[in-house]
Amino acid sequence: FKPIFSYCICVLYQVDVLPDGTVINNALQSDDSGVRNRRFVIFDNGTLLLQQMGKKDEGDYTCHAKNKLGRDERKVKVTVTPDAPKISPESHLLATARLGESAKFVCQATGEPRPRILWISPGHHIISVSSDRYQVMENGVLVVKRVTLADEGKYTCIARNPIGEDVKNFQMEVETQEPSINGITGRSTSRVLAVSYQTTQLDCKAEANPEPRVSWITSYGQQGVRKTDEGRYACVAKNTRGEATFWVDLKYVWLTHIVLPGHGDGLPSAHHQGPGLGDQDP
């Protein structure tokens, strides 16, 4: 909002009063550090400076002057006109983040009435105030949670009130990053037990930027696991920054049935070789 100056030339002594009757003194002009803030400033010549004006600041401002010979006062009527939104030109338009971390955009806007801030995602959808992926703060700051490659692109901030709107585009970039598999970079190993003649899935969640190329050295997701499927499987993720390898030692386990009196179908009993399900190398 544009600052408003109210001139009151007084002799020896002056007091300025707000429309609600509040007397402007040194404490009201200063913050906790003693530095004058932007709301009210009285200069030595009696000038009252009003900034960050809103509708609530409309009304009659009274300047009082007095000395031993008498007193005088002057009222100044202040009217605040509507103002279209304006987004701060000082906003940082580019944000960079690593995969899995958070990033934020700051969109500060002025206007009267106070503008509402809306954010549009790279997929051209209005971002809700709070979701699993985003959070929009009361001051218009957008937080992108747990950044993925899908979060790269253009984010649009719209400041809107009944008078008009202002628009500014922001850009999200994800830093280049070497591959990781299941959250681990470099080499990692896991041991898995496979039940005979049941489907076994070996998980290999690879993340990187640029997006990695993923391949298995040995087939996976076998249908009907058999003793011959035992062995070592390797998932490899590569990009221009490097590679990660996830080794899986698959062990076979078979089921037998123990027949007890009164249990015609038998009770299953598992037999296996090697370590247990999901055991990890140190």
pLDDT at residue 31 in the model? 47
Predicted model pTM:
0.53
Same domain for 187 and 254, yes or no, is yes
**Counting beta carbons within 10 angstroms of the beta carbon of residue 8, is it exposed (0 to 12), middle (13 to 18) or buried (19 or more)?**
buried
Structural domain containing residue 239 = 178-272
> Do residues 112 and 163 share a domain?
yes
Share of the chain above pLDDT 90, in %: 25
Both tokens of 216, joined, read 């298995």
Structural domain includes residue 279 = no
Last residue of a domain, one of 174, 191, 226: 174
The last residue of one of the domains, among 121, 140, 174, is 174
Task: Tell which of 78, 98, 116 closes a domain.
Answer: 78
Q: In this predicted model, what pLDDT tens digit does every residue of 24-40 receive, in sequence order?
A: 555 444 444 444 445 77
Is residue 280 one of the residues assigned to a domain?
no
- Decide: 51 and 39 in contact? Cβ < 8 Å: yes
Of 40-54, 137-151, 177-191, 201-215, the range with the lowest mean pLDDT is: 40-54
Q: Based on the fold, state whether residues 71 and 119 are members of the same structural domain.
A: no
pLDDT at 212 exceeding the cut of 80: yes
Assess if residue 135 is contained within a domain: yes
Domain CATH for 204: 2.60.40.10
Same domain for 62 and 88?
no
| Integer Rg of the chain from CA | 34
Residue 191: its pLDDT value, please? Answer: 83
On whether the CB atoms of residues 190 and 220 are closer than 8 A, the answer is no
Same domain, 36 and 51: yes
- For the chain, how many structural domains are there in total? 3
> CA distances (Å), 217 to each of 186, 232, 237, 248, in order?
16, 9, 11, 11
Share of the chain above pLDDT 70, in %: 72
Structure tokens belonging to residue 266:
């038998």
**Together in a domain, 191 and 219:** yes
Residues 141 and 213 in one domain: no
pLDDT digits (tens, 9 = 90+) for 118-165: 999 999 999 998 889 999 998 899 999 999 889 999 999 999 999 999
Banded pLDDT at 22 (limits 50, 70, 90): low
Pairing of β 48-50 and β 40-42: antiparallel
